Amino acid sequence: GQNIDQPTEMTATEGAIVQINCTYQTSGFNGLFWYQQHAGEAPTFLSYNVLDGLEEKGRFSSFLSRSKGYSYLLLKELQMKDSASYLCAAYGNNRLAFGKGNQVVVIP
Amino acid sequence: GAVVSQHPSRVICKSGTSVKIECRSLDFQATTMFWYRQFPKQSLMLMATSNEGSKATYEQGVEKDKFLINHASLTLSTLTVTSAHPEDSSFYICSAREAAEGTDTQYFGPGTRLTVL
């Protein structure tokens, strides 16, 4: 079975750092994805982790601990355009299971 | 990155009609495409996995006779919502997996917002 858990909403100031956590329980786990979704739009790919550790990609970094079933997405130097929902998705048994998403609101 | 298109982006129809949604991978071949549905403030829910040249695999609770999927080529999959009803109103999103990349990354189309009156 698959169970993905994310906190629902957070507010942060422009220029700040935000960490979004995700825990998962996934059969046949084979990778953890993070997507960004603006209201009314489809998700866009941000990052992929399959091995333990931190993957850095510009202002966004993603971390995975397979033994703990845990990942986080780190957003640095927040910009107003980063206001969106951030979805984690665990890949297992040839399918992606999405969490409900964490709504990040960036304020000036 | 890989580009996936969807058409139409928005459709409003009367109850009882059928609606076809197209999903295309524009710059890569996708042996596998996925169809999701997302209700407001909810997670993306996988409806079915579409495999080129074979029958789609439907998730539990999704009626295969109501949601017809055809994956006729390596760049096109279609979802037909037959005899649509107001409860079928939702945001339908397809994704395509770029197998050549080796990471099983799914790239999403822009979505189709279906409103059934």
Q: In order along chain B (117 residues), what is the average pLDDT of each group of 10 residues? A: 89 96 90 91 90 88 94 90 96 84 76 96
Contact B111/A at CB under 8 A: yes
How many cross-chain Cβ pairs, A to B, lie less than 8 Å apart? 48
Question: What phi and psi values does residue B100 have, to the nearest 5 degrees?
Answer: -65, -25
Nearest to A98 among B44, B105, B113 (CB): B44
Q: What is the pLDDT of residue B29?
A: 84
What are the tens digits of pLDDT across the range A31-86? 999 999 998 888 998 999 999 999 998 999 999 999 999 999 999 999 999 999 99
- DSSP string for A58-73: TTEEEEEETTTTEEEE
Cβ of A98 within 8 Å of Cβ of B106? The answer is no
Place of tokens 């993306």: B44
Nearest chain A residue to B94, by CA: A42
Cβ of A42 within 8 Å of Cβ of B108? The answer is yes
- DSSP string for B32-78: EEEEEEE-TTS--EEEEEEETTS--EEPTT--TTTEEEEEEETTEEE
Distance from CA of A14 to the nearest CA of B (A): 24
